[in-house]
Structure 1
């Protein structure tokens, strides 16, 4: 079986990437711009398909993803494209497997492998470029689906950043109303004032929501908005999960005003906060 490349350099590059054990077992020979391969068993064909798949992904995938981002979704800013590309890479690596629909997408490796199966067994000679041009339609469609999910995630992250920025500006725009608020990470959260009195009266918090609308914020009540309404100089959060998304948002909004400490089991006997 011969696989022909456009250039001698590309053929040599592919040859060097092949494990020496596979080259020895299948008797691979590099002859100018082509490779002669002599697979004997079904396992040899599958391993060769895996090597071609890995080469395609390493050499072409990033470029094709960037093309899809610009051609089909009209992102032309270089920084935005790189950000979306990084989200796609995070999905591939399993770092974002909680995103919607990622579990239903086809595995891109297996998609390429399926496209190669007939070619390797039915043709004694074929060109690598013919695979690239005509055999990878399903793979490119899978990439497009991954990009679409990444763009949705990117837009959500942008909205989140705008939301956090608005909240941060509100924090800086108004004078603090109290020295310190202590937050105990329980369900629900418990808030104490600087005298360690439990804050129960949330009328002042509820009256804060019309002000939020003036800033263009439509949001449901949350611990973050409650803290902004109470406007403390300092926020101490007792938690065992400082890396949780809520805690990270608290830190982004209140910046140097917030600090995290290990959650204690005893809340004390404080009296109610009357507002």
Structure 2
């Protein structure tokens, strides 16, 4: 027989439901009991295998309770009360846990090594089992709970940076909306540096780009606005931008796309020569026709 004592009635009920769902047993068989008045889940070994119980307990910790602990850390330590904000931060946390954000994973204290929860579960389920869930957390899972705090900490920092970035993007969109276009079409080549081309695919030299920059833009946003790319683009405010790049996920490419939205068309770097030849042919044809 195994008996797990919970301090919280809700935790007892959730583990009971989770165990029933995972084992597929009918609660009327009385193999798994919920003693609600004492917050105890009791499992009889006649039909329910101890391995099933251990696996259900492990999954209860890493799937159900982990989310509770993340939310508790957010609310109690960092005072994030808003559920929508909590959800945004949780999405960042789980992207790190699932290996999608290696840039953040390297910032986790202790390199993000996850304590061996299965080993702790194996140890607690030895012989006649009767234990307190909260004592198990306190004495066996303390390193795990500390690790969760590290995930929350770096995810909050990332969330704040994302919020600042979105505010920055919106500010520049507002600036763009207030400007008249100085050029219908602009071509950008992303290589080791950014090269600007006008509508006839003539290169716009650096000095000319500098002269085009609206000084109010640099004065109002000196930290965020790149004078080599974003500032001239916003100052010219072209109706269409054709951007040739080898990597469409490059941060600056994504920033330009986010600011100019439907005005931007991303093109393959390999298509640059063909586009240049076509435009030069069109220009020659127009000049000859004139």
* Native 8 Å contact 1:3 1:126 kept in 2: yes
Q: Secondary structure at the match of 1:178?
A: coil
Q: Report how many residues are paired.
A: 256
| Residue number among 35, 41, 48 corresponding to 2:43 in the alignment | 35
Aligned pair 1:16/2:23, yes or no?
Answer: no
Aligned pair 1:98/2:100, yes or no?
Answer: no
* Native 8 Å contact 2:195 2:203 kept in 1: yes
Structure 2 gaps of 5+ residues are 26-30, 35-40, 281-290
* Native 8 Å contact 2:240 2:264 kept in 1: yes
Residue 146 of structure 1 is matched in structure 2 by 151
Residue 284 of structure 2 is matched in structure 1 by none
CA, structure 1 residues 35+10, in 2 after alignment: closer, same or farther (shift >3 Å)? farther
| Residue number among 70, 83, 91 corresponding to 2:88 in the alignment | 83
| Residue number among 227, 234, 238 corresponding to 1:228 in the alignment | 234
Residue 219 of structure 2 is matched in structure 1 by 214
CA, structure 1 residues 201+136, in 2 after alignment: closer, same or farther (shift >3 Å)? closer
Distance apart, 1:116 and its partner CA: 3.4
Residue 273 of structure 1 is matched in structure 2 by none
Q: Take 2:67 and 2:14, find their aligned partners in 1: how far apart are those partners?
A: 18
CA, structure 1 residues 217+209, in 2 after alignment: closer, same or farther (shift >3 Å)? farther
Residue 237 of structure 1 is matched in structure 2 by 243
Residue 186 of structure 1 is matched in structure 2 by 191
* Native 8 Å contact 1:5 1:11 kept in 2: no
Distance apart, 1:121 and its partner CA: 3.7
* Native 8 Å contact 2:15 2:60 kept in 1: no
CA, structure 1 residues 77+206, in 2 after alignment: closer, same or farther (shift >3 Å)? farther
Distance apart, 1:5 and its partner CA: 4.4
* Native 8 Å contact 2:248 2:266 kept in 1: yes
Q: Take 1:111 and 1:122, find their aligned partners in 2: how far apart are those partners?
A: 20
Q: Take 2:77 and 2:184, find their aligned partners in 1: how far apart are those partners?
A: 52
* Native 8 Å contact 2:189 2:245 kept in 1: yes
Q: Secondary structure at the match of 1:76?
A: coil
Q: Take 2:81 and 2:126, find their aligned partners in 1: how far apart are those partners?
A: 41
Q: CA RMSD in A?
A: 3.2
Distance apart, 1:150 and its partner CA: 0.2
Structure 1 gaps of 5+ residues are 24-28, 39-43, 271-275
* Native 8 Å contact 1:11 1:30 kept in 2: no
Residue 173 of structure 1 is matched in structure 2 by 178
When normalised by structure 2's length, the TM-score is 0.74
CA, structure 1 residues 257+203, in 2 after alignment: closer, same or farther (shift >3 Å)? same
* Native 8 Å contact 1:177 1:232 kept in 2: yes
Q: Give the structure, 1 or 2, with the largest relative contact order (CA under 8 Å, sep 6 or more).
A: 1
Q: Take 1:71 and 1:117, find their aligned partners in 2: how far apart are those partners?
A: 31
Q: Take 1:201 and 1:243, find their aligned partners in 2: how far apart are those partners?
A: 25
Q: Secondary structure at the match of 2:191?
A: coil
* Native 8 Å contact 1:5 1:128 kept in 2: yes
Distance apart, 1:13 and its partner CA: 2.6
Distance apart, 1:149 and its partner CA: 0.7
| Residue number among 63, 66, 69 corresponding to 2:71 in the alignment | 66
